Structure 1
Amino acid sequence: MTVGPQRITVAGFSDGASYALSLGLANGDLVRDVLAFSPGFAAPARRQGAPRIFISHGRQDPVLPFERCGDRLAAALVQSGYDVAYRPFNGGHVVPTEIAEAAFRRFLG
């Protein structure tokens, strides 16, 4: 059995979400989806391909502030032409069940 790019995703929470975004944006020809829950940054060495991106972030996040992190990242990626599903929510530095379910529905759909 061969696994192609149409079935590969990278995902993470907090710093893991930042790394997932960076890895996915740099390897968009290999990765179809990036699921980033409360990311702080994206710092790919280069951008290649166009993975679909799911970002969620809590509006009351005390660890990685909403306006400086998830909100800013989502807007910048949309402006750069990426297919971004952005799910801000009322809450802190967590991944609510309904947000995780929405991310996986997007990946599997």
Structure 2
Amino acid sequence: MTSALLVVDVQNGIFASNNPPHLSEKVIENINQLVDYANASELLTVFIQHEIPGMLEPDSDAWQIFSGINVEHSDTKIRAKCIRCTRNREKNHPRPVFIRTRYS
């Protein structure tokens, strides 16, 4: 079994905003420790960046991985976009549909 570290939605528009998540400095510190461990252990690190219209526009500064995160050139980055929401007819719950594009 192959292991990997997934880092999801750690983007400037969230962590560098005027209203960052609770304990964001500690969260970033913990993520960096995990990223450093993954790199030292030669594990794959995957950064997933979601696109949100009006907030996390693709390729904007807000969409970029938070500048306080230790990102290696060899890390994988995946762009994720919700294109529409559908209904799960069996459970009647909304289910987002995502397009994922690897760009590095």
Please identify the structure whose Cα radius of gyration is greater.
2
TM-score (norm 1): 0.35
Name whichever structure is richer in strand by fraction: 2
Structure with more helix by fraction: 1
Q: Which has the higher contact order (CA 8 A, sep 6+)?
A: 2
